Amino acid sequence: MRLRSIFTNSFGILLSRITGLGRDVLMASALGASVWSDMFFVAFKLPNLFRRIFAEGAFTQAFMPSFIASKHKGVFATAIFLRFLLFLVAFSFMVTLFPEPMTKLMAWGWSWELIEQTAPLTAINFWYLDLIFIVTFLATLLQYKEHFATTALSTALLNISMICALWLYMKEDPKSVAYAVSIAVLVGGVLQIVAHLFTLHAFRLDRLIIGGWKYRNDKDIKEEREKFKSLFLPGILGNSTPQISAFVDTLLATFLISGSVSFLFYANRIFQLPLALIAIATATVLFPSVSKALKNGHEEKAYANLTQAFWLLTFLLGGAMIGGIILAEPIVWLLFERGKFTQTQTLQTAYVLQMYMVGLLPFGLAKLFSLFLYASHRHKQAAKIAIYSLIASLSASLILMQFMGAAGLALAGSIGGWVLFAFTVKEVGSEHFFRIIKQKRLIYFMIAAPLFALLLYAINLYIMSLIR
């Protein structure tokens, strides 16, 4: 297992997430959990949804195996890039011209007056989707060369851009803040593209793209393009379960009390930190090597990497899950309770965070096991599993939101994560899972987990006695 690459990627993600938390702290201070914060988060939700699907899933996991197998890599890459980009630009123009229906799609429970206020923000933010697709395409080419640092670090540029906007407009009215941050999102996207272009040139991959454009011939890649299409559509569904669930949660939260969308957003931002830092960083690094190993018939090497990564994720994500559940209130208090973010909002957000954390371990391990489905071109099986998970999550959301509000939506997402993990393990092969857990490390984990929980519980009591 490439531990050095994993830790390098994790460091980049850590820097990105730290700047992201800094951005969210300023956002909470400037807007709190208010109508205007809800409006911005709704406007940013759809491009952010597609960003997570593209950058952390479907495109890369469909493109990478096809690119590795391609006999005309430059031509294939150029053809796929141009088709996607033209479609996204046309889609973005349509949203710019008619932003109200798209906004209503994300906020059914809002009045038409509130929809009209949010629509211009939706039109601005949606162009980030085009920019982040370019970033994702370039990042996938760099992953083929097993370079991950640029992509991991570049997200910090988006956060820094938004932080600058918040800093400059902090004392302005909420409307000005929301518009300034929306424009900063686009500036951050452009900066990410520039960073990737410099690295692409350093690896001389720009020659591949230029050559693919110059000598393109669709006849050379017709079969490869069709294979990519057959993988990509199931890949979207297979990778997007957490994102679609979060998107639906935002929609359902518009029917709850004011601030519910913001409670979900702030809590999910904390939840995403260990998930990205540990699970996504590991999966991103392993995917190219697993794809190449399975393609060359080296299954033992691929499963040896799976075993090492499994225990790394189990201990780290398990600890983060326990810590997030027990220390939810002091974490939210430390990060957000200042300015317009009140103690009541801290308690609400902490409750939501606890429910999200219940699903941290299964989501991370499902991400790991799913690598073998995508690397072996079993995208349709992954899509079926995602449907089962989504049905479980949505069903639980409709029930639990009646009793638990926004926290019920978060818990429903965690239930979907456990369903996703169980079915993914079954599809990859339960025998591999049981072979992994039949080790002494399972005993160590079972002993360490409750002891760690007791320690954190004592720490939590001490911290709460100081801050309340």
Q: How confident is the model at residue 458 (pLDDT cuts 50, 70, 90)?
A: very high
The helix or strand, by DSSP H or E, that contains position 252, with its residue range, turns out to be helix 241-253
Average pLDDT over residues 186-193: 94
Over its C-alpha atoms, the chain yields an Rg (Å, rounded) of: 22
The per-type count for the chain, helices as H runs and strands as E runs, is 21, 0
| Count of structural domains within the chain | 1
Q: Which domain holds residue 108?
A: 3-467
User: Do residues 24 and 202 lie in contact, with contact meaning Cβ atoms separated by under 8 Å?
Assistant: no
| pLDDT tens per residue, range 256-267 | 887 788 888 889
φ, ψ at 298 (rounded to 5°): -100, 70
Q: What pLDDT sits at residue 287?
A: 73
User: Do residues 220 and 161 lie in contact, with contact meaning Cβ atoms separated by under 8 Å?
Assistant: no
In the block, residue with structure tokens 């493109």: 63
In the block, residue with structure tokens 């809590």: 267
Query: Measuring CA to CA, which residue among 167, 157, 140 is closest to residue 235?
Result: 140
> What is the CB-side half-sphere exposure of residue 142 using CA atoms within 13 A?
25
| pLDDT tens per residue, range 116-138 | 888 888 899 889 989 988 998 89
| pLDDT tens per residue, range 277-332 | 787 777 777 777 777 777 666 777 777 777 888 888 889 999 999 999 999 999 99
Distance between CA 159 and CA 219 in Å, rounded?
42
278's CB contacts (< 8 A; 6+ apart) are 10, 312, 313, 316, 317, 320, 364
59's CB contacts (< 8 A; 6+ apart) are 53, 84, 133, 136, 137, 140, 232, 235
Average pLDDT over residues 372-401: 86
Average pLDDT over residues 449-466: 90
Decide which of 448 and 6 is more confident: 448
Other Cβ atoms within 10 Å of 31 Cβ, number? 25
> Six-digit token pair at 447?
């002993």
Q: How confident is the model at residue 231 (pLDDT cuts 50, 70, 90)?
A: low
The three-state secondary structure class of 62 is: helix
The helix or strand, by DSSP H or E, that contains position 333, with its residue range, turns out to be helix 328-336
User: Do residues 140 and 208 lie in contact, with contact meaning Cβ atoms separated by under 8 Å?
Assistant: no
Instruction: Say if pTM beats, i.e. exceeds, 0.85.
Output: no
